[in-house]
Amino acid sequence: MRIPSFRAFLAVLAFVAVAPLPVTAGAVSTTAATAAMPAHDPAKIAVVAQILDNLQTMKIAISAGQKSLLADPTVARMSIPDQVLLSNLFADEMTKRHDEMMNGLAADNSDRFTPEQLNNILTYSRIGYVQALCLDAAGLAPSPPDPSTMTTQEAQDFMTIGNADYTADFLGNFSFTAETAVVSEAVTASIQRFVALRGARG
């Protein structure tokens, strides 16, 4: 397994998740440019979206965004219950946009790989140890990843697919452009809901 490329994938994922921040508790507006999307192979998009789910992409993006929200000076001055509320609202808004983000990321990153390569990466991403490594690298693993949990076939796939050039390309050159707009929308929506709830409480 090419650890540098693997960790680079997670590092960029987390960075993009916090890039639209800091935020303020006031009104926030975002402008999304809608452009004609080029044609992509829907079968490839579906495979890449599943790979991203297996690699815990949304969970890691939500965690990174929540940490950035709580570190924002405006949010840091809020009461603990308000911080928890805003953090939970952000997670909810991100979850609502799961398919939008997964499909957008998949469309941006599927074309340069063959169906066979993507299916191999999908097999790789299904290995529980690989998924645990993702969570561990993001500081979200409940326990240290244990390679002994792999079956003989999984261990073989881990070495063979994990060291393939196309896997290094997938992890090391992944475009997270589609994530930026989704996170910005989620931040905006969560703040608007937070302000509305605070206003209703009086």
DSSP state of 25: S
Say yes or no to pLDDT of 21 above 80: no
pLDDT reported for residue 14:
65
Give the pLDDT confidence of 42-78 residue by residue, as tens digits. 999 999 999 999 999 999 999 988 998 898 899 999 9
CA distances, 102 to each of 45, 69, 73, 186 (Å): 9, 22, 30, 14
Percentage with pLDDT > 90 across the chain: 61
Which structure tokens are listed for 66? 């929540």
pLDDT reported for residue 31:
41
Higher pLDDT, 65 or 34: 65
Alpha helices per DSSP H over the chain:
3-18, 42-54, 57-71, 73-76, 80-96, 98-109, 115-125, 128-137, 152-162, 165-172, 177-201
Say yes or no to pLDDT of 187 above 80: yes
Least confident of 13-17, 23-27, 123-127: 23-27
Do the beta carbons of residue 113 and residue 44 sit within 8 Å? yes
pLDDT tier for residue 127 given thresholds of 50, 70 and 90: very high
Give the pLDDT confidence of 142-175 residue by residue, as tens digits. 999 999 999 999 999 999 999 999 999 999 889 9
Say yes or no to pLDDT of 37 above 70: no
